[in-house]
A and B are shown apart, each in its own frame.
Chain A
């Protein structure tokens, strides 16, 4: 049987008053601790030069590079608190990532942190800094970093809504010589983005060049390109007709 309840206003006034005061205290305390939390954040120090860290590594440069990357990855967790990425100085962060790449040049860790972790920020400027870093590092070792540049291109398109930057990155991937081994879809990004930019003529020209060359030998890939070619030709025709009308 459900027990009946008395209306709140019938409760003793001091009790109600105490409840309201304590509720207000709780809200104020939470607000103050949030502000304090941001104050408690220990910013990243600027890194020293790579030769210094190589000297400190005592011959274990690769291991030190990885441990530094793990340390950096944990930077947003301080004294049991998780801090927002917006608090991090991304210029210093990019310096650290660059340093780690110099110490462990054959490691993907810093690029992975840049493309998967630190691109979670909502600040476009911070995002640009990370994408710039990825673009720079890709030039140093395209074979190792093509996946990260492909991810960066997607981030530029979907998160920054900067199709020109996305296309610039996609073109960098597509321009790599055949000696850089990567799946054809990574190179195909370029014409897909061109189509998004309504640059159907350029996209069609690229697909036709690809189909006429011996670069694509996979039948599924050829079928995909042929479908895209027809699709883009149709869209181009539709565009021309709508312009004439």
Chain B
């Protein structure tokens, strides 16, 4: 089996301060994992704020370069991807989805312009009608249509709809890997599950692997195949998602698991939570 994404002892250190009092922050320490090319999966990175999960996501997206170690995408070391032509090819295959869709889109630009430009940039060929069809296809995958989005500005859509447009935009280049950094934490509860279900559908129908970065153990349990738990840059536990979350071994994972606020508490023991 060949690896789609192969992280080999990835480290990232930030240096803060000047010559005399520099402080080193180890954001990511010696992280290794593999995502197989033949078997698309949802790979979840779990951790609190400051655990280095977003830094790791940025390294996977090649926005940040690891201090040491290497990250191979489809056999190519990302350190070699430097020219704009190479970057274009890389972005073709790896697409990001960010936490806040309102920040991800330019508020002064109509959404369909975004989608058309993305399409044109990645697949130079095609006239307007072709692009329309491709954009409409991508939007239909996420439960929208071009008619609903055409000539609309980001503020005219709800957070959930806008996050779907962000996913549709990512799909336009036919990526093999999507890196989603906290994609549902800004989305309303009634729409959250439909986005999460969408990720499942992308994996099953289109064979796209997804790196899902989150602090929410419940949605992680619901969709992930494998997870790694990070604490202060170090992977403290990794494995099959259900197994890890059902019976966490590392003290930190146990602590995380214990801190999940289960909705059952209220229904199961009403007397404990009730006042007279």
Q: Do A and B bind each other?
A: no
Binding site for A on B (CB under 8 A): none
